[in-house]
Amino acid sequence: MTKAAIIGSGIGGIATAIRLAVKGYDVTVFEANASFGGKMHQFDLQGYRFDAGPSLFTLPHLVDELFTLAGRNPSDYFTYTRLDPITHYFWPDGSRLKAYADAEAFAVEAEQQLGVKAQDVRDVLAKSARLYKGTADTFLHKSLHRLDTYLSADVLKALGCLSDLGLTTTMHDANTRLFDDPRFVQLLDRFATYNGSDPYQAPGTLNLIPHLEHNTGAFYPKGGIYSIAASLVKLAEELGVAFRYNERVERIVIQNGKATGIETSSGRYSAKVVVSNMDVVPTYRRLLPDQPAPEQTLQQPRSSSALIYYWGIARAFPELHLHNIFFSQDYKQEFEHIFQRKSISPDPTVYVNITSKMEKSDAPAGCENWFVMVNVPHHQGQDWEQLVETTRQAVTDKLSRMLQTNLREAIVCEQVLDPLLIEQQTSSYAGALYGSSSNNRMAAFLRHPNFSSKLKGLYFCGGSVHPGGGIPLCLLSARIVGNLVPVVTSVNQAKQHA
C-alpha cells in the first residue's frame, strides 16, 4: 500500500485521511496535541460543556459524503437538525430580528421588524443563490492555480455571472446600493467576518455568502460541533487510519525535489504523499526551512482573529437562541480598529453561542453555557492580557445593557482564548483564523494552492489555502466545512502523482 502522511488532525486532515484511505492508501496522521480536532475540540468547565472553536454548521452533505464514499450510512455516525430560526439579531437602538431558515419568512420578518421591503430581501437572496450556483464549480471546487480549471465547461457559467459579482466595488458599498436601512446593511456586511475580512475593503463578491446560510440552511449536529470531528475520526480508524497524538512533526523530508516523508521527535516516517493541514506559513517556516518559500503568498495580509470568553451562566435567558448577534453602533469604526489600528473597538459586535439551548446537558439545570466571541486583529505584538480585561468590561457592559440585566452576577466560571493561544494550540500563524484575509480582489488568486508546484508529493489542506480557504467559501472555512473542500482536489492530485 502507498503510504501517506498527514500533518495535523484538524477537520481538513481528518477528511483527507478518510479520502486517501478509501482510495487504498496506508494513512498515518501526526498530531502535536493530545487529541484530534484542531480548532474543533471541546472541553468541560465546572459542569458546562463547550465547543471551543467552530459553531455554525452549513452544507452537511459535504460531511455525509465522507461516510457514503466509505460505504457507510452517515446517520449511523452522527445526526443533525435544521435550525429555525438561525440567528437572533440585536441592535443598540433596541431593534431585534429573527433570521428564519425559510427565505420568505426571513423577508417578512425583516419588513416587519426593520421596515425593509420584503421583496428587496427576496431579490438579494435570489441573487446570492444565482451567483453561488454560477461560480462555485469554477472558483470554489477547483483550484485557481491549474490551467484545466479555466478550460472546463464550468467557466462559461462563471463568465455569465461576472458582471454581477461585485468585483469592482466593496461588499459594504454593494449592500448600501441595495438597502437604505443601516441595520440590514450591517447584517449583510457581517458575512465578511466569516473569513476574517473587512466589508469596507473586501470585494462585493463576498455577498454570495448569505446563500449558504439563508437559502441552503444552517444546522446543529447532535452532541455539538465536536461530534462531527469525533464521528469522522471513528470512521477513519475503521478504515485503518492511524493517529499518532503528542507527536509534533519537525520537518518534511525532501529528496530530489520530492516529499518522501516526515520527521518527528520519535523518528523518520517514509511516505509517498505528504499533506499539511497546518497553516501554510508555519508549514514553510518550520517544516520546510531549506526550501524556497513563496514569499509573496506568505506575506499576504492576515485575516482577523478572535477573542473568546467561555462563560458558565447561572441563569437562563429565554429571549436568546443558539446563535445570537449583538451589533455595535459604529460598524466601520469597529473594522478600522481591527485592520488599521490593530486593536479592539470599545464597542465591539458580540456573538453569543449557547449550545445548551439545543442540548440541556451542556449546562447545569437552569443554567447556560455561553461562548462569547469578539472579532479582533491577529497577533502583532499587542498586550493581550490588557485587551482581554478591557474587552471583558466592554462586553459585559454591552450585554447587560441590551439584555437589561446585570450579567456579571450570572457568570460563575470563565475560560479565555486569545490570538496568542490560538496560534500556540492550532499552528494558525499569528492567530489569524483563516490564513490571509480577502480584503482585495486578488486575494483568492494569491492564496497558496492546495498542492506544491515545485515539490512532488506535497499537498496542503485547510483554511489557509485554496480551494477551501478564502473567498467565497469563507463561510465554510471559518466555521467548519470549508476545510473539507480542498480534500477533493488534493487527493485526486495525490493519486495522479503517486
The yes-or-no verdict on residue 50 having pLDDT over 90 is yes
The yes-or-no verdict on residue 468 having pLDDT over 70 is no
Region 36-50 average pLDDT: 96
The yes-or-no verdict on residue 492 having pLDDT over 50 is no
The C-alpha atoms of residue 458 and residue 348 are separated, in whole angstroms, by 41
Nearest C-alpha neighbor of 139 from the set 170, 171, 162: 162
Q: What is the dihedral of CA 383, 385, 391, 397, to 10 degrees?
A: -150
pLDDT at res. 133: 76
pLDDT at res. 204: 87
Which has the higher per-residue pLDDT, 394 or 195? 394
Q: DSSP string covering 202-224, please?
A: SBGGGGGTHIIIIIS-EEEETT-
pLDDT at res. 168: 75
**Rounded to whole angstroms, what are the CA distances from 186 to 37, 181, 490?**
32, 9, 36
The C-alpha atoms of residue 161 and residue 153 are separated, in whole angstroms, by 14
Q: Is the peptide bond before 85 cis (omega within 30 degrees of 0)?
A: yes
**pLDDT band (50, 70, 90) for residue 209:** confident
Q: Give CATH 3.50.50.60 domain extents, the chain.
A: 3-40+60-68+225-299+436-484
What backbone torsions phi and psi does residue 194 show, to the nearest 5 degrees?
Answer: -70, -15
The yes-or-no verdict on residue 367 having pLDDT over 80 is yes
Nearest C-alpha neighbor of 407 from the set 417, 416, 397, 415: 397
pLDDT at res. 467: 59
The yes-or-no verdict on residue 433 having pLDDT over 70 is yes
Residues in the chain: 498
SS3 assignment, position 103? helix
The yes-or-no verdict on residue 493 having pLDDT over 90 is no
pLDDT at res. 471: 32
**pLDDT band (50, 70, 90) for residue 436:** confident
Strand spans (E) along 13-94: 26-30, 42-45, 48-51, 57-58, 80-82, 87-90
Q: Which pLDDT tens digit goes with each residue over 137-171?
A: 556 665 555 656 555 666 556 555 656 666 678 99
Q: What is the dihedral of CA 160, 165, 169, 172, to 10 degrees?
A: 160
pLDDT at res. 476: 28
Distance separating the N- and C-terminal Cα atoms of the chain = 11
The yes-or-no verdict on residue 477 having pLDDT over 80 is no
Residues 6+ away with beta carbon under 8 Å from 373: 306, 307, 308, 309, 350, 351, 352, 353
Residues 6+ away with beta carbon under 8 Å from 361: 49
pLDDT at res. 454: 92
**Fold topology of 3-40+60-68+225-299+436-484:** FAD/NAD(P)-binding domain (3.50.50)
Region 267-280 average pLDDT: 96
**What's the half-sphere exposure (Cβ side, CA atoms, 13 Å) at 42?**
18
**Rounded to whole angstroms, what are the CA distances from 226 to 57, 176, 413, 424?**
11, 37, 21, 20
SS3 assignment, position 345? coil
The C-alpha atoms of residue 388 and residue 372 are separated, in whole angstroms, by 12
Read off the DSSP letter of residue 409: G
The C-alpha atoms of residue 225 and residue 358 are separated, in whole angstroms, by 12
pLDDT at res. 337: 98
How many C-beta atoms surround the C-beta of residue 60 within 10 A? 21
Q: How far is CA 5 from the centre of its chain?
A: 24
pLDDT at res. 143: 58
Three cell numbers at 281?
506559513
Three cell numbers at 57?
454548521
pTM for the whole thing?
A: 0.90
Three cell numbers at 99?
433570521
Three cell numbers at 81?
437538525
Nearest C-alpha neighbor of 184 from the set 109, 127, 132, 126: 109
**pLDDT band (50, 70, 90) for residue 380:** very high
The dihedral built from the CA positions of residue 236, 240, 241 and 246, taken in this order, carries a sign that is: positive
Q: Which pLDDT tens digit goes with each residue over 235-248?
A: 999 999 999 999 99
Q: Which pLDDT tens digit goes with each residue over 326-343?
A: 999 999 999 999 999 999
Contact 296, 61 (CB under 8 A): no
Q: Which pLDDT tens digit goes with each residue over 177-198?
A: 999 999 999 999 999 999 899 9
The C-alpha atoms of residue 496 and residue 498 are separated, in whole angstroms, by 6
pLDDT at res. 167: 65
| Mean predicted lDDT score pLDDT of the chain | 88
The yes-or-no verdict on residue 223 having pLDDT over 80 is yes
The C-alpha atoms of residue 447 and residue 463 are separated, in whole angstroms, by 10
Share of the chain above pLDDT 70, in %: 85
SS3 assignment, position 228? helix
**Rounded to whole angstroms, what are the CA distances from 161 to 134, 139, 149, 156, 283?**
6, 12, 17, 9, 36
**pLDDT band (50, 70, 90) for residue 131:** confident
**H helix and E strand count, the chain:** 18, 22
